[in-house]
Amino acid sequence: MKKIPGEQSRSNEKGFTLIEIIVVMVMIVLLASLVGPKLFPKLGKGKQSAAKAQISLIEQALDQFRLDVGRYPTTQEGLNALVTNPGVSKWEGSYLRKGLPADPWDRPYQYTCPGSNGEFDLFSYGRDGKPDGEGEDADVVSWK
């Protein structure tokens, strides 16, 4: 058989063998099993920090509402009063540019006014969605 110029024979091709690919995959799995457990706890702390930041932004919006209206929204009006006018004449909102956020666990923030810890209480129940808790399940509150 004649060799065509520019054509390479199969014996000259280079690539990875199945063994080499398996060795690399085993190394990746071992590396992930060592690094993964160290990163997962940081994810929970990140959500707690995000909830604190969102509560701070909502508090600022509540303060702006109070400056305009002369009071904080009632418990019945809720946090929706920051986004839509609850029928108040001095309302100058919307006080939250991107709308009312859910907490990092996709649940609504809890709001009561008057609050038992201040003029209002604003909080998230944390990862478990239940009062109290430890670690990632701890409540994230506005009064601490």
Distance in angstroms (rounded) separating the CA atoms of residues 130 and 124: 9
For the entire predicted model, the pTM comes to 0.68
Residue 72 lies in a domain: yes
Residue 126 lies in a domain: yes
The end-to-end CA distance of the chain, in Å, is 85
Residue 103 lies in a domain: yes
CB 61 within 8 Å of CB 95 = yes
Distance in angstroms (rounded) separating the CA atoms of residues 92 and 64: 9
Domain limits for position 123: 47-141
Distance in angstroms (rounded) separating the CA atoms of residues 120 and 20: 63
pLDDT tens, position by position, for the chain (144 residues)?
Answer: 555 565 555 556 677 888 888 999 998 888 887 776 766 665 657 888 899 999 999 999 999 999 999 999 999 999 999 999 999 889 987 899 888 999 999 999 999 999 899 999 999 998 888 888 888 888 899 988
Residue 27 lies in a domain: no
CB 52 within 8 Å of CB 142 = no
Residue 73 lies in a domain: yes
Residue 66 lies in a domain: yes
